[in-house]
Every structure is written in structure tokens, then in C-alpha cells.
């Protein structure tokens, strides 16, 4: 390399170093200007901004632990159920097994009331009659509710379906005693001989609890997949076969739910017996009322109430087991509708 070339290289290096130095100086000057501008603006413009309240709450460990879980939402439900259902049942059970003596209560287990209950033929007969009336009313309610729910679910106009739904469920929000007194007055105007008969009792139960049977059946039909029904028709099934094997079978969980709602309420209704029985018919709720409010043996009344509650819980459990067999998406299926499509 010649001297002239070495000189050119040295000059280029010097120029490059000068450019870098100038750039560094410019950056330093820019930073100094920014600092001066910040100081000129003042500290008041840069007050520390706290994060939003929602973000601060989400930082708590307990909130992170509960995030995404469903059970915290259910806490109010369990609290209400505990105070309104569990505690009264425990109170009845307590009065059924303790032995009252004068003004003091001996906290000693005593199962004589239960032995007396099972040994009383009259009480057992009244209990059986009460369940018979409730069973008959439940069957009638389900038989009437199914076609109503089917028509509502198949209405093309959603606005009309909603309006009809409001009209059907509106009686649920009306006071029970007002409805039963109104029915009693209507039957009295038509003819007082009908009051105090088994037919009047069953009529009162159907009148009071029919909306409770329509609601679950309607939901079961409304939530069905219409492709099953269409597939059955494509496989040359008649409309009745498609309805029986698809629509009706998939709606059976709603039928059992409606049946359970009606039979539980009908078995424990006191107002219907009082106003529709006209003092001529006594069911198990009337017996319990007499022991609690008109007699002195409230322990035996609590025993009857506990026995009735256990029996109703058993009926509810049985209906749930049967209903689970017809659940299309359940783990256990009994002649599932999706399989029935290919067998038609």
C-alpha cells in the first residue's frame, strides 16, 4: 500500500470518528434538552397515577384464587337455602326426637313418635290419600301441559311465543291465597255441592300448579336439536314416529321435572285442602296443622312433617334417576334419540 493510500485511509477513519463523536454529542445534547424541558414543566404535571380500582382488586391473592370459579356466585343461594330449608328441617327433626316435659326440654333422643306414626293406620291412610290426590293432579297437569308447551315451542313468531309465555306464567306471580279464594267463590256461584269432593281438591291442585308443569316441558322441547327430527323424516319415518322417538323422548326430562314440581307442591299444599275441601276432607297437611296449632303434641306433628319430607325427597330422587336415563347428553342413555334416528 502506497503512502497516498495510507493517508486516504487515515483521513477516512478520522472523518468517521468525527461523525460518531458529533452523533454522540447530539444525543447527549438532546437528552439534556429533554431533562431541561421536564424540569421546566414542573413536578406537578407528573403526579403518580394509581391503577384503576378493578386492576388493584384483581391483584389480591384471594381474588386470583377465586377467579374463574363458579361456586362463589352460588354462595348467596346456599345461604338462603340453608336458612329457609335446611334449618327448618333440622328444627322439625329436633322437635320430633326430643322429649318435652313442662316448660323444660329434655335433650334426649326419643323415637316413640316415629313408632307411633308407623303404627297409626289412620295417619298412614291419610298420607296415602294425600299422595294419591297429588299423583292424580300431577298426571293431569303433565297431560295438559305437554300440548301447550309443544304449541309454544313450535310457534314461528317469537314475539307471539313470548307473549303467550308471559300469559301462561303470570299466575305464578299472583298470591296463592287470592287464586284459591277466587276459585272457591266461582265454584260456590256455580254450585256448592262440588266443594268438599275429591274432584274439587284435584281441580284446585291442577289450577294452582299447571304453570309449573308447562315451564320445564317447554324448555325441554325448545332446546332440542331440530336436525334429529329432520333426519328421521329423511329416513322415511312418519311424523308420528318422528315425534314419538325424537321430540317426545328428548322432552321426557322436562316431563319428569314438571311432574316432580307438581307432586311436591300438591302434597304439601294446605290452602287447597282448606278452601276446596270445605272442611269435609282432611289430608296430611291438615293433620300436621292440627298437631302444631290446635293440639299440644307438636312433637308428633313434627314427626309427620319429617316423614313427609323424607318421602318427598325420595320421590324427587327417583324422578331424577329416571330423568337421567333420558338425558341425550348424559353419560347414561336409555334408547337415546340420536340412536333412534337410524332405527326408524
Structure confidence by residue, pLDDT tens digits, 221-247? 888 888 888 888 888 888 888 888 888
The mean pLDDT value for 186-213 works out to: 86
Whether 71 and 175 map to the same domain: the answer is no
Does one domain contain both 57 and 196? no
8 A C-beta contact, residue 180 and residue 203: no
The predicted structure's pLDDT at residue 146: 93
313 in a domain, yes or no?
Answer: yes
**257: confidence class by pLDDT, cuts 50, 70, 90:** very high
**pLDDT number for residue 136:** 93
**Do the beta carbons of residue 271 and residue 279 sit within 8 Å?**
no
Tell me if 20 is assigned to some domain.
Answer: no
Q: Answer whether residue 9 is part of any domain.
A: no
Q: Is residue 211 part of a domain?
A: yes
**Sign, CA torsion 271/272/275/278:** negative
Q: How many CA atoms lie within 13 A of 148 on its CB side?
A: 20
Q: Give the confidence band of 331 by pLDDT, cuts at 50, 70, 90.
A: very low
Rounded to an integer, what distance in angstroms lies between the CA atom of residue 330 and that of residue 324?
7
Rounded CA separation 321/16 (Å) = 88
Asked whether residue 234 is assigned to any structural domain, the reply reads yes
Does residue 106 belong to any structural domain of this protein? no
For residues 52-81, give the mean pLDDT.
Answer: 67
In a domain, 322, yes or no: yes
* Residue 261 sits in the same domain as residue 316: yes
Q: How far apart, in whole angstroms, are the C-alpha atoms of residue 227 and residue 326?
A: 18
Q: What would the mean pLDDT of 60-86 be, rounded to a whole number?
A: 71
Count of structural domains, the chain: 2
- Which pLDDT belongs to residue 322? 87
Residue 133: which pLDDT band, with cuts at 50, 70 and 90?
very high
Q: Do 140 and 75 share a structural domain?
A: no
Asked whether residue 246 falls in the same domain as residue 322, the answer is yes
pLDDT given for residue 153 in this prediction: 85
Same domain, 225 and 292: yes
The answer as to whether 336 is a domain residue is: no
- Do both 193 and 81 map to the same domain? no
Mean pLDDT of 288-297: 78
Q: Say whether both 88 and 219 belong to one domain.
A: no
For residues 185 and 324, membership in a common domain is answered with yes
Average pLDDT (108-137) is 86
Of 28, 61, 96, which one is at a domain's C-terminal end?
96
Range of the domain at 65: 53-96
Residue 291 to residue 164: CA distance in whole angstroms:
43
**Residues 204 and 239 placed together within one structural domain of the fold:** yes
Q: For the whole model, what pTM was predicted?
A: 0.70
Mean pLDDT over each residue of the chain, to the nearest integer:
76
Highest mean pLDDT among 42-46, 108-112, 153-157: 153-157
Q: What is the mean pLDDT of residues 98-120?
A: 69
Residues 202 and 283 reside in one and the same domain: yes
**pLDDT score for 52:** 67
**In the predicted structure, residue 332 carries a pLDDT above the cut 50:** no
Same structural domain, 82 and 149:
no
% of residues, the chain, pLDDT over 90: 15
Q: Quick check: 149 pLDDT over 80?
A: yes
Report the half-sphere exposure of 229 (CA within 13 A, side-chain side): 16
CATH of the domain at 223: 1.10.3720.10
pLDDT bracket for residue 87 (50, 70, 90): confident
Amino acid at each position: 500500500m502506497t503512502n497516498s493510500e495510507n493517508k486516504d485511509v487515515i483521513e477516512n477513519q478520522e472523518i468517521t470518528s468525527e461523525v460518531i463523536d458529533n452523533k454522540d454529542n447530539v444525543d447527549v445534547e438532546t437528552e439534556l434538552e429533554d431533562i431541561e424541558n421536564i424540569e421546566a414543566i414542573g413536578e406537578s404535571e407528573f403526579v403518580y397515577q394509581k391503577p384503576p380500582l378493578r386492576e388493584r382488586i384483581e391483584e389480591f391473592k384471594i381474588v386470583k384464587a377465586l377467579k374463574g370459579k363458579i361456586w362463589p356466585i352460588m354462595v348467596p343461594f346456599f345461604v338462603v337455602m340453608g336458612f329457609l330449608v335446611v334449618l327448618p328441617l333440622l328444627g322439625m327433626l329436633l322437635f320430633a326426637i326430643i322429649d318435652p316435659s313442662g316448660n323444660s326440654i329434655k335433650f334426649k333422643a326419643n323415637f316413640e313418635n316415629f313408632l307411633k306414626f308407623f303404627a297409626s293406620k289412620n295417619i298412614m291412610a291419610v298420607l296415602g290419600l294425600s299422595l294419591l290426590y297429588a299423583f292424580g293432579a300431577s298426571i293431569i297437569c303433565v297431560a295438559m301441559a305437554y300440548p301447550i308447551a309443544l304449541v309454544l315451542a313450535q310457534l314461528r313468531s317469537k314475539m307471539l311465543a313470548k307473549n303467550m309465555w308471559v300469559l301462561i306464567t303470570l299466575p305464578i306471580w299472583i298470591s296463592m291465597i287470592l287464586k284459591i279464594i277466587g276459585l272457591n267463590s266461582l265454584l260456590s256461584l256455580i254450585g256448592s255441592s262440588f266443594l268438599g269432593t275429591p274432584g274439587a281438591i284435584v281441580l284446585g291442585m291442577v289450577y294452582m300448579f299447571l304453570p309449573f308443569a308447562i315451564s320445564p316441558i317447554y324448555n325441554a322441547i325448545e332446546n332440542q336439536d331440530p336436525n334429529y327430527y329432520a333426519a328421521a323424516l329423511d329416513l322415511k319415518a312418519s311424523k308420528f314416529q318422528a315425534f314419538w322417538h325424537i321430540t317426545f323422548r328428548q322432552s321426557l326430562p322436562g316431563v319428569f321435572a314438571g311432574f316432580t314440581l307438581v307432586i311436591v307442591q300438591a302434597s304439601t299444599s294446605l290452602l287447597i285442602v282448606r278452601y276446596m275441601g270445605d272442611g269435609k276432607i282432611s289430608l296430611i297437611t291438615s293433620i300436621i296443622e292440627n298437631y302444631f296449632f290446635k293440639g299440644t303434641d307438636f312433637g308428633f306433628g313434627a314427626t309427620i312433617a319429617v316423614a313427609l319430607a323424607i318421602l318427598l325427597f325420595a320421590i324427587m330422587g327417583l324422578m331424577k334417576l329416571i330423568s337421567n336415563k333420558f338425558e341425550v347428553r348424559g353419560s347414561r342413555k336409555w334408547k337415546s334419540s340420536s340412536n333412534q334416528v337410524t332405527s326408524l
